[in-house]
Structure 1
Amino acid sequence: YTTLAYIWPSRDRYLSQPDRLNVIRKKYLIRGCYTPFGEIVELKAFAKSIVKREGTPGNLSWDPDGQSLTIGRNKKFRLSEFCETHRKVIKIVQERVNEMMLGLEVDINADEIQDDLTCRKAGWSFVRDRKNELADLWTVLADKLRSSGFRGKPFVKGTDWQIDTCTAYLDAGSDLSKLTFAASHFSGGLPGRGTEMATIRWVNTTLAIRNIFFRGGQMMVIISYNKARASNNYAFYIVRYLPRELSLSFLKYLAIVRPLLGFIARQLKLPHWSDSEFFFPDPCGKKRHLSPIQASSIIRDLTRDLTTPWTLSSYRQAALAIAKRYISKLVEKSNFYCPTEATNPIKMFAAGAGHHPRMLLTAYAIDKALPSRLQPELLEMYYRLSTMWQDWNQQYNEQCNRTIEPETCSHDQNRIQACLNDPKRQSKKRKISSQTINNSTNGLTDGFVYNAEYRILICVSCGSMIQPGAKSFYSHLNSIHRITGLACKAFMERFQTYELCPFELLPLPEEKILQIPGLTVYEGWRCN
């Protein structure tokens, strides 16, 4: 090559490009070679050895009240915002679908929708199955376009299509597609990876089976892709059930709204619009489906008003943390590669047939309406998991809506009272009056109280003062209350803003004074 600064032989100088690449790899691209790339490989191997020895470093901390958590340095998730966003997205999707229906009322019984989970015919879906009578529903809405309008503007004037109205409808359809991704990602249970959720198909293709199914009146998202398949050649199904109300909205979107969007785009002869087999098409029209970066941007825009906007990765971390802490009824032990676990009746049937439950579930009476490794027992487990996730979000959101500030304060005081009344937390030599505790903690809404009159910091749980100074602050939070990490740092930063008086400089009262709120009054001494 004559254009380079140094003389470099061209590729036609070598008889075999693979042999040439192998020579370069051994000289410059392997561990142990004295090159910058060799140094990078060495550092990466050293980092792997540290992770293998010490484990993955922690990246999450819960606040003392258990109502919020922090991921990384400053990504704060509040459980109230978490559950409220779930309900909000579902409600928005329902409203947008009704708006896109242009006032058309369609009676669809989701319980009567039939689907075949084993059909691999290209172009087939439960939407196009004649038994369900969904394939031609969109034509009813298409016939209504001439007499309908969208957001105050008609679709057709005379014989001419109104470009502005049609473009606004297509843009609304693109926004609805983004909302459907967020709603399915939030409400389907524990969230999947971006590469899994963004490539969901709603119709079979020649090379791949779809991921959207309908069973028991609910829409299911079934994915067999996972990281383990690449390393051990094993794949298992992951099933996420969507809520019933969201399933019905998605059904209307797939059967009516989406075909109408394609019809309008063809009438306008838009070159970038194409009917995609993917449930979440690229809103820009450049690719066939949504990319993980675009999916993360959708979630970030949707949650931009929260304390910390979410992303795909941060939401996945937060959801798993909440599930591990609050959803305690998760399946304890399951083999995802095949349904080996069973209930007592299954064990009884297996014993009667002279088999182990695993043999009964994997070799006998296999329902051909379902994949062989996705039998009803495993579907039931995934159904319970999705239901528990949805129920917890709904119950927590309703609890937050019912709770007002006085009730919250009362709940905190009951918790403080229970801690103070615990005999294990009382001094071994001093007897505490329960009536005094009730009077002193009544009306306090925080675990730590600053008294401006005496310039002292009071720990309500202990009923004592805290010595000023960063060392004593840290000792009290860490040793007594086991508060560490970012929560401990936040408390210490708050304490340092108070103007505190050292204990040795506190004035001793010469007369009887009123009880200081938060401090415990000791009526006597107890002898051991």
Structure 2
Amino acid sequence: NEFKRCICFWLRVWRLPRAISRAVTGRIFTTHQRRILEELWLDSCWTPCDNEDENAENAYAGSALWLRQENLGSEAGQEEEEEEEEGEEEDVVDDDDDDGSEFSKSEDIASDALYGEGSSDEEYGSDNQWYRISESRNGGQGELQPGSHRVPSREIDDSCDPSVDAVLRFCYEMVTEHFEDGRASSALLVYFSAVRGLSRQEGNEYLRPARYTPILSRLIYCTRLIFLEAILPLRAHTYAGFAARPRYGQLAALNAVRVDQMCDGTMSPLGEFLSLLAYGLTIQRSEGPAWHFDWSEDGQTISWDGDTRLSMGQFRSLAHEAFRQTTVQSRRLMYDFDPEDPQMGSLRDRLSNTTPGYSFLTDPQNGLGELYLTVFMRACTAPVDGLLKTRHGDGQGSWDVDAAQTYLHGHDVLLKNLMVLQQLDSGQAARVSELLTLEQTNTRSRLRGVGIFGGQMFSITRHNKARLTTNREFQVARFFSPQVAALMYRYLVYIRPTAYAILRQCFRHEPDRTLIFTPISRSTGWTTKVFTEELKRLSRDALGTEMEIGVRLYRQLSIAITERHVRGALPTFNRFDDVTEAADPDVAFAWQSGHRPIQRHLAYGLDGAFPDKLQPSLLRLYARCSEKWHNFLMIGPEAPPTDDPASISADTETTLPRQNSGQGSNAKKRKQISISSPLTTSQTSLKRPRRGLGNTASTEAPLSSPSLSQVPCTLPDDGRVIDSSRPQPLAVSRDGNSRLDSGKGKFQTYGTFVHLTEFNILVCSTCQYAVFADHVASHLLHKRHIRNFTPRERRDLVSTIDEIPGIFRSRDSMLNFKWPPADSQPIPFIKPPKQDSLGCHICAYIASTECGMIEHYRKTHQWVNNRKRGGYQDKLLERPWRKHVFCQYFFHNL
């Protein structure tokens, strides 16, 4: 794409009048440069041939393509312009990038090209879909064309294409151009590289070295390819005048050009690029980080850029919100099917098996290959949005193509959220380019990126830059929390095979992709920009502000937070120490075999079941790091719920699976946590309303004065909502298990219950509503709690709560409850305020129903409704109270 831009740039400048081009560029074209530009522009290969047009029309007539690549010339360049800031941003100012050479940079560009770095998520339209419906000639009905999965091709080698040869000849002229009077800027390619170094908007400043060196790396990589294709082509380019490479003496033929044109210090464009890249990397190391973070005194708020602040509760809410959205979408795609999650320790995963196609998903002992059929049958036979529709008259069924496309689009939306959730949950962020290369099974060239070890699911990323710099494999294992592992398991076992089955049965396309994070409804893979946009959207949803956190910022934040909160919790030790007083006594086992600890580790630490030195000891260290990160995010068995009811309609509810991490043989039903499912704008377009998923009205009852109709805690009508359900919300902050930092109140925890001493009310932190002390025993028998406490633990918890003095035990005891003022801050541990109540204009009374508000106006303010039966509807709207008032509910089903 860099060479595409270069060719377009110089052709446009060359086509301008000479006076204008000189005023714009500050230079004139040499005779040689004008000649090669004129040869490219006026080449006869651009004149279409009538026979070729007829052949092309015949080849493409009568077939519905599932794979189309249209407008690649203009759109690809525009898309790369849009994503350039994000495409390389995760690699900027990292400490581990300081050792990178041009080889590592070029390798990254090569891998980006392999996985579609030149595309953008805006191509999500119909032109890039893997399916397309052709209208029948008879009835005009949309039907699938048999064989539409085949792409017509004209078995023509690129070497026989004159246009390809003409472009190759022009590019070779550019990369071998000599400098005029020793000035590198006289060469077309070098001058273009300087233009690429200008800022993209105004052009009045230069890019920072961290932003410019990736451009140089791409130019270096492409220039080397041009040299190799022109000097040692596999087949002859007869139109360009390049002969095929000889069978012998290839190195001599390459060295004849390499010494003068391809080495650092030569008077050639490639030599200039190599010098600029080395200089840019040196300056990049001395520039320092892009952000300078500062911490508050209590270490709970991080700030940068002077006025931008982020609390640790807000940071945790990113993962919690991603988890909630992924859970809701997963349940929709599974059509409310709620299978039991197996014990991960009972699944066999032979990490030493490098056979293509193997993973724990395909291991015959696990028996996971056909479990998706249950979901597939539910999807086909669903009464409302099923994939099969019955024809009238004959009773036979056919595929509902619209419903199938909707399911595939929903699959891609879920996969985006799952990709972001995995990045947030697994610890310090991996590079997105590495995340996009994770594969679910082994291939001929790569090992799978997801595995199971010690009863836990983890991902494996291979650090390309470190491998190319040190010539050693550098692998990083990131373990998932049990909840995220359960979601990942459901996707890999149920949802992904179901989507692929729809492609096979409905669209006659046989998918062969093994990459996990790749879309199913488009022909090209995702790029870094797709991940960045999804992360920014999630940050806006979770934080409730205009703050957008991209890939680069999140990576720097995760590293800074790890250094402050996570890493400090790990003890310092030297596992190879056997001479000091702090040495581990277990080093005697190494002595017993005649080794020092480091020798034993190098010789015998490598278990034959783990390739590439990914031995069990290293995996256990990675698992420990991931566990520390999960504890910091409060994602675990004792973590608070992750729902966000403030932005959720109250008519849908789903459950969050919690997986048991033990290795027992009996699969137990996982712990359930109430999660409200949102119906956002982006999600409602994916699935039509389905029967049985949130079609019942909410039965929540607000806590009020003795009539239990007034809500005690409200917010002003300025649209400001503060979520108190998260571990450390924006206004209500909680830093541990002992005290509350949001004012004068404190709390005490009793298992899953929290005693708010300010109100003397008991709240269930899992269910997020208040519970009377006399109802604790029955509440613990709910399906969310019954499997989490033994009978003895339930009895002990009930007896402990009964001893709390003054706690409200029943509804009758609430008659003397002192209600908080209407303008008070939200109360923590219960669901945050909802904008669904009515407020009195005269006093601070709040009611949840219109009947309650009418009763209040009649008794308190002697209001009389002037509208009689059969009156005008406009009078019905003239109500003396406010609507959409924020309120907070204490009790559920009261």
- After TM superposition, the score normalised by the length of structure 1 is 0.66
Residue from 372, 382, 388 that aligns with 1:138: 372
> Which residue is equivalent to 1:102?
335
Residue from 722, 728, 752 that aligns with 1:400: 728
Query: Per-residue CA shift, 1:412-465, capped at 9, x if unaligned?
Result: 9xxxxxxxxxxxxxxxxxxxxxxxxxxxxxxxxxxxxxxxxxxxxxxxxxxxxx
Tell me, yes or no, if structure 1 residue 363 matches structure 2 residue 591.
no
Task: State which drifts further: 394-403 or 311-320.
Answer: 394-403
Deviation at 1:283, TM superposition (A): 6.0
Q: Is the 8 A contact 1:135 1:255 kept in 2?
A: yes
Deviation at 1:228, TM superposition (A): 2.1
Matches within 5 A, 1:381-420: 381-394=621-634, 399-400=727-728, 403=733, 407-409=741-743
Deviation at 1:57, TM superposition (A): 6.5
Residue from 464, 480, 495 that aligns with 1:242: 480
Instruction: Identify if the C-alpha distance between structure 1 residues 186 and 24 changes in structure 2 by more than 3 Å, giving closer, same or farther.
Output: same
Instruction: Tell me, in whole angstroms, the C-alpha distance in 2 between the residues paired with 1:250 and 1:182.
Output: 12
Residue from 574, 582, 589 that aligns with 1:349: 589
Q: Is the 8 A contact 1:224 1:238 kept in 2?
A: yes
Instruction: Tell me, in whole angstroms, the C-alpha distance in 2 between the residues paired with 1:233 and 1:300.
Output: 36
Cα root mean square deviation, aligned: 4.0
**Matched residue SS, 1:408:** coil
Gaps of 5+ in 2: 1-9, 19-28, 40-164, 198-271, 391-396, 641-725, 747-894
> Which residue is equivalent to 1:311?
550
Tell me, yes or no, if structure 1 residue 228 matches structure 2 residue 466.
yes
Residue from 336, 340, 363 that aligns with 1:129: 363
Matches within 5 A, 1:17-32: 21-22=175-176, 24=178, 27-29=182-184
Q: Is the 8 A contact 1:71 1:314 kept in 2?
A: no
Matches within 5 A, 1:427-438: none
> Which residue is equivalent to 1:324?
563
**Matched residue SS, 1:119:** coil
Matches within 5 A, 1:424-463: none
**Matched residue SS, 2:569:** coil
The AA in structure 1 aligned to 2:355 is K
Residue from 171, 186, 192 that aligns with 2:430: 192
Tell me, yes or no, if structure 1 residue 115 matches structure 2 residue 115.
no
**Matched residue SS, 1:213:** strand
Matches within 5 A, 1:472-491: none
Instruction: Identify if the C-alpha distance between structure 1 residues 383 and 208 changes in structure 2 by more than 3 Å, giving closer, same or farther.
Output: same
Matches within 5 A, 1:264-303: 264-269=502-507, 274-282=511-519, 285-287=522-524, 289-303=525-539
Instruction: Tell me, in whole angstroms, the C-alpha distance in 2 between the residues paired with 1:194 and 1:63.
Output: 30
Q: Is the 8 A contact 2:356 2:443 kept in 1?
A: yes
Instruction: Tell me, in whole angstroms, the C-alpha distance in 1 between the residues paired with 2:285 and 2:518.
Output: 40
Deviation at 1:136, TM superposition (A): 1.1
Q: Is the 8 A contact 1:367 1:375 kept in 2?
A: yes
Q: Is the 8 A contact 2:313 2:733 kept in 1?
A: no
Deviation at 1:99, TM superposition (A): 2.4
More helix by share: 1
Deviation at 1:392, TM superposition (A): 1.0
> Which residue is equivalent to 2:619?
379
The AA in structure 2 aligned to 1:66 is G
Q: Is the 8 A contact 1:178 1:298 kept in 2?
A: yes
Instruction: Tell me, in whole angstroms, the C-alpha distance in 1 between the residues paired with 2:511 and 2:576.
Output: 44
**Matched residue SS, 1:267:** helix
Gaps of 5+ in 1: 413-528
Q: Is the 8 A contact 1:362 1:372 kept in 2?
A: no
Tell me, yes or no, if structure 1 residue 259 matches structure 2 residue 493.
no
Instruction: Identify if the C-alpha distance between structure 1 residues 176 and 53 changes in structure 2 by more than 3 Å, giving closer, same or farther.
Output: closer
Task: State which drifts further: 61-70 or 192-201.
Answer: 61-70
Deviation at 1:50, TM superposition (A): 5.5
Task: Give aligned-pair identity as a percent.
Answer: 22
Instruction: Tell me, in whole angstroms, the C-alpha distance in 2 between the residues paired with 1:223 and 1:244.
Output: 20
Query: Per-residue CA shift, 1:78-131, capped at 9, x if unaligned?
Result: 321111221232233233222222233433332211101121111112101111
The AA in structure 1 aligned to 2:319 is H
The AA in structure 2 aligned to 1:132 is N
The AA in structure 2 aligned to 1:112 is S
> Which residue is equivalent to 1:444?
none
Instruction: Identify if the C-alpha distance between structure 1 residues 76 and 350 changes in structure 2 by more than 3 Å, giving closer, same or farther.
Output: same
Matches within 5 A, 1:11-22: 21-22=175-176
Instruction: Tell me, in whole angstroms, the C-alpha distance in 1 between the residues paired with 2:497 and 2:291.
Output: 47
Matches within 5 A, 1:50-89: 55-56=288-289, 59-72=292-305, 75-89=308-322
Deviation at 1:141, TM superposition (A): 2.5
The AA in structure 1 aligned to 2:330 is V
Deviation at 1:51, TM superposition (A): 5.4
Query: Per-residue CA shift, 1:285-308, capped at 9, x if unaligned?
Result: 232x32111111111122223231
**Matched residue SS, 1:370:** coil
Task: State which drifts further: 317-326 or 72-81.
Answer: 72-81
Deviation at 1:237, TM superposition (A): 1.5
**Matched residue SS, 1:254:** helix
Residue from 412, 428, 448 that aligns with 1:210: 448
- After TM superposition, the score normalised by the length of structure 2 is 0.41
Instruction: Identify if the C-alpha distance between structure 1 residues 374 and 179 changes in structure 2 by more than 3 Å, giving closer, same or farther.
Output: same
**Matched residue SS, 1:208:** coil
**Matched residue SS, 2:452:** strand
Q: How many residues align?
A: 403
Instruction: Tell me, in whole angstroms, the C-alpha distance in 1 between the residues paired with 2:405 and 2:173.
Output: 56
